[in-house]
């Protein structure tokens, strides 16, 4: 899971088509069942490090794609 710092985002929307799991939405287009991620994103963006270079996806990325219940496994 990655997060986008809301104070650093310039709303250019270039990240949306690049997201391999279609998880990025503009703030006014967040699906109703995912609104809780707005607050979580803001919280985690303050404490997680910035990513400054592209790296390969984890070896098990496909296994986790569309897997339900992942949020319960999030460690802060």
| 68 belongs to a structural domain | yes
**Residue 51 CB contacts under 8 Å (≥ 6 apart), including other chains:** 2
CA 57 centroid distance within chain: 14
pLDDT of residue 31 exceeding 90, the answer is yes
Confidence of residue 76 (pLDDT cuts 50, 70, 90): confident
pLDDT of residue 66 exceeding 90, the answer is no
| 4 belongs to a structural domain | no
CB atoms near residue 62 (< 10 Å): 11
pLDDT for position 46: 95
| 3 belongs to a structural domain | no
| 2 belongs to a structural domain | no
| 10 belongs to a structural domain | no
Number of structural domains in the chain = 1
Q: Is the pTM of this model over 0.75?
A: yes
- Provide the residue range defining the domain that includes 40: 15-73
**4-28 confidence digits (pLDDT tens):** 998 999 999 899 988 888 889 988 8
Question: Are 50 and 57 in contact, with CB atoms under 8 Å apart?
Answer: no
**39-50 confidence digits (pLDDT tens):** 999 999 999 998
| 58 belongs to a structural domain | yes
CATH number at residue 53: 3.30.70.20
Q: What is the CB-side half-sphere exposure of residue 21 using CA atoms within 13 A? A: 11
| 8 belongs to a structural domain | no
């Amino acid at each position: 899971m990655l997060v986008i710092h809301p104070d650093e985002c310039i709303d250019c929307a270039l990240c949306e088509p690049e997201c391999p799991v279609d998880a990025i939405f503009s703030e006014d287009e967040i699906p109703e069942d995912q609104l809780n991620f707005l607050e979580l994103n803001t919280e985690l963006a303050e404490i997680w490090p910035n990513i400054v270079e592209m790296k390969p996806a984890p070896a098990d990325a496909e296994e986790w794609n569309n897997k339900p219940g992942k949020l319960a496994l999030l460690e802060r």
